[in-house]
Amino acid sequence: MIGSPRYLAILVLILHATAAGADSPALSRSRSSGPWSAPGTWESGAVPGEQARVQVRPGHVVVYDVARGPLVRSIHVSGVLRFATDRDTRLDVGLIKVEPGEDAAETGLEVDAHGREVEGVDCALEIGSPDAPLVAAHHAVIRLTPCVGLDPDFAPAIVCRGGRVDLHGAPLSRSWVKLGSTATKGATRIALAEPVRGWRAGDHVILTATQRQKIADNVELPSVREAGQTEARQIKALQGTEIELDGPLEFDHQGVETTRGEVADLSRNVVIESADLGAGRGHVMFHRGSRAAISHVEFRHLGKVDRLGRYPLHFHQAGDTMRGSSVVGSSIWDGGNRWITIHGTNRLVVRDCVGFRSVGHGFFLEDGTEVDNILDGCLAVQACHGKPPQGQALPFDRNEGAGFWWANNANAFIRNVAVECDQYGFRSEIETGGGFDPVLRVRGPDGARGPVDVRTLPFLRFDDNEAHSQRRHGLDLGGGPGDGHAGGMEVGPDSRHPLVVRRFKVWDTRWAVTLGTPGTLVDGLEVSGSEFGLWRPRYDRHAYRGLAFYRTKWAFFAETGERPNLVRFPEPLDPIDDRPPVTVITGVSARGQGPIVARGVSVDDGAVVEVIVNGRSARPIMADFSRWEVSLDRPSRGPLILSAAARDATGHRERTPHRISTPIPDEN
């Protein structure tokens, strides 16, 4: 209907396209594979100049080898754009579109446009590779820059629509570690709890807060962005576990046995950044059918403030099509709109990443349909409140600032830490007020999608997480302020498949844990230095064991129902493990004429005891096969076809093995 929001949106897109077409420069297309800086690489016989529109054509590999060239308006990568690895490079660009085909259009890339994967076609943006990352001696920078002629609501951006993005910086053994001892105010030297590899003099680091700001009822404080105690410094020198900083500390940072702050390295030698820190910030988006392998990359100053779908790293409505994609060892800081958004996407692996300062929730699962995603060993620091973006998927989300936020529990959160966020460390939130229906179409263990009340779904796994120095909430699984039902959630998992929280640690926090959810089992909880331990628990099919409270004013506060008897654990629940594990192949490599090595992760609500890849048993790298690898014979001809599936301790095998077909990795 004319005048409807949909009609107006289409009209705006047409006007943008018309305006862009009116002043679009001619398209500079590749003639053959070759260096970007070589005139012979291009059909025109000239290297692309200022504000050029560029197309890397199918079958061509163009190597970007420029230290700093003119601003490129847009690049359509339908072949391979590969950054040189033997020198420093920097690309200033308004739009990079990685998509098969010959269509170099700069419009039509909106949030609800889905890419496609074309069989046999490999179009890719590459910086390094998993086996040969960009060496630490060199840097590669993509600087997303506003350009006249591009839609400022969308650009600048990197958008992958059915293509591949491989970004691999020099590896770090860990992105963040615990303090080895207390770092006192005025100190310029600090000790780490363990040695690190890959950290270098000149790197930017943060020391997380270890003392929360105490608040009184009905008294608001400035955001922790302005009033927090997390400190940023540069490494002046590093030897073993000792770091010399470029300036004295302003606050104490605890590093004793049970309460240790963190030190995180934000610097990487592969950088995606915004040139404009205002309204012209850039973003990175992946559509369905795409592939992403990202390791040790720095994403800084990205994300358009208050704009729906314009996030630093955004996996948009990919369903199962991006299984095997991962973000590892990376930093995302000064996020103008979250850090990583997982929207309508399943089985993504996010591991050992650091998020520092965001507007809105940090590690964010957007609409309640996301399942089987694995967030492992990530650090969330200073997720700050923002405005709820207009048109957001879940109307009840106030975007108050949670380190980790989700509406569907059927995901894995393992070994993560949240520090000094405005409202929550970890938050599971879903409301039924305002006409919202919690029955959504969700992927099941057999791969089929169907309607399910997402409030009834238990965790894939929630183990060994930690929150500290939160002036408000550590972990809120429902029943906290704003939930619309002060007594807690109306519906939860059944007694045989409860929400299971194992070995959760929270310290120096006002409200440590909020459990207004029915059907909840806590197996190990340590609370120290907090005002409230279990705050407003609603004992509807709850079971607890291993509770420890130290220096906590109220261990239990505002209880509803009869407190569970710890001796009879797990009564009144009768939990069983009857769900299969989840496996993701995250990488395949080879060296010389040796065997193929496949690597991946497997997660279960119980214990994984076996992972089989092409008939061979994988070797666990971490407990319970949360990381594994396996050596396989090199096939005589390609492609390489892999199938991986896990079995848990109760004998349940994965119903949907991860199957991939990939070219035989090159010799290194």
User: What is the average per-residue pLDDT within 584-606?
Assistant: 91
C-alpha–C-alpha distance, residues 50 and 25, integer Å:
10
Which tens digits make up the pLDDT trace of 262-306?
Answer: 999 999 999 999 999 999 999 999 999 999 999 999 999 999 999
The whole-number pLDDT of residue 23 equals 64
Q: Scanning the structure block, which residue is given the tokens 């990488």? A: 587
The whole-number pLDDT of residue 428 equals 96
Residue 19 has pLDDT above 60, yes or no: no
User: What is the average per-residue pLDDT within 419-441?
Assistant: 92
User: What is the average per-residue pLDDT within 158-170?
Assistant: 97
Q: What share of the chain is helix, strand, coil (3-state, %, to 5)?
A: 5, 40, 55
Strands 619-620 and 628-632 turn out to be antiparallel
Q: What are the backbone angles phi and psi of residue 14, rounded to the nearest 5°?
A: -65, -40
DSSP state of 11: H
Q: 78 is written with which tokens?
A: 């339908």
The whole-number pLDDT of residue 223 equals 92
Which tens digits make up the pLDDT trace of 83-138?
Answer: 999 999 999 999 999 999 999 999 988 755 454 555 556 899 999 999 999 999 99
* 111 or 141, higher pLDDT: 141
Which secondary structure element, helix H or strand E, spans residue 375, and what is its range?
Answer: strand 374-376
C-alpha–C-alpha distance, residues 256 and 312, integer Å:
35
β-partners of residue 94 are none
Where does the pLDDT of residue 433 fall: very low under 50, low under 70, confident under 90, or very high at 90 and above?
confident
Q: What are the backbone angles phi and psi of residue 16, rounded to the nearest 5°?
A: -60, -45
* 119 or 314, higher pLDDT: 314
The whole-number pLDDT of residue 112 equals 53
Residue 359 has pLDDT above 70, yes or no: yes
Helix, strand or coil for residue 567?
helix
Q: Scanning the structure block, which residue is given the tokens 């997660």? A: 603
> 627, 652, 655, 626: which is closest to 643 by C-alpha?
655
The whole-number pLDDT of residue 18 equals 42
Which tens digits make up the pLDDT trace of 390-400?
Answer: 999 999 999 99
Which secondary structure element, helix H or strand E, spans residue 226, and what is its range?
Answer: helix 224-227
Which tens digits make up the pLDDT trace of 616-645?
Answer: 999 999 988 999 999 999 888 778 899 999
C-alpha–C-alpha distance, residues 555 and 535, integer Å:
8
User: What is the average per-residue pLDDT within 142-168?
Assistant: 97
* 16 or 243, higher pLDDT: 243
> Angle at the Cα of 582 (from 576 to 587), degrees rounded to 5?
155
The whole-number pLDDT of residue 482 equals 52
Q: First CA to last CA across the chain, in angstroms?
A: 59
C-alpha–C-alpha distance, residues 638 and 665, integer Å:
10
Please give the single-letter amino acid code of residue 639: P
Percent of the chain with pLDDT over 90: 85
Where does the pLDDT of residue 469 fall: very low under 50, low under 70, confident under 90, or very high at 90 and above?
very high
The whole-number pLDDT of residue 13 equals 38
Q: Scanning the structure block, which residue is given the tokens 């040189």? A: 84
Q: Scanning the structure block, which residue is given the tokens 């099509």? A: 321
C-alpha–C-alpha distance, residues 193 and 180, integer Å:
4
Mean pLDDT score of the chain: 92
Asked if 85 contacts 128 with a C-beta cutoff of 8 angstroms, the reply is: yes
User: Dmax of the chain from CA atoms?
Assistant: 80
Side-chain-side CA neighbours of 291 within 13 Å: the count stands at: 20
Q: Which residues, 6+ apart, have CB-to-CB distance to 419 below 8 Å?
A: 208, 209, 230, 261, 262, 379, 380, 381, 382, 403, 425, 467, 468, 469, 470
User: What is the average per-residue pLDDT within 440-452?
Assistant: 95
DSSP state of 405: E
Q: Which residues, 6+ apart, have CB-to-CB distance to 120 below 8 Å?
A: none
Q: Which residues, 6+ apart, have CB-to-CB distance to 397 below 8 Å?
A: 361, 388, 405, 407, 429
C-alpha–C-alpha distance, residues 116 and 432, integer Å:
35
Q: 109 is written with which tokens?
A: 């890339």
Which tens digits make up the pLDDT trace of 166-190?
Answer: 999 999 999 999 999 999 999 999 9
Residue 22 has pLDDT above 60, yes or no: no
Q: How many CB atoms lie within 10 A of CB 503?
A: 16
User: What is the average per-residue pLDDT within 639-663?
Assistant: 94
Q: Scanning the structure block, which residue is given the tokens 């920097």? A: 90
C-alpha–C-alpha distance, residues 399 and 427, integer Å:
11
Q: Scanning the structure block, which residue is given the tokens 């709850």? A: 542
Q: How many CB atoms lie within 10 A of CB 259?
A: 20
Q: 366 is written with which tokens?
A: 């957007």
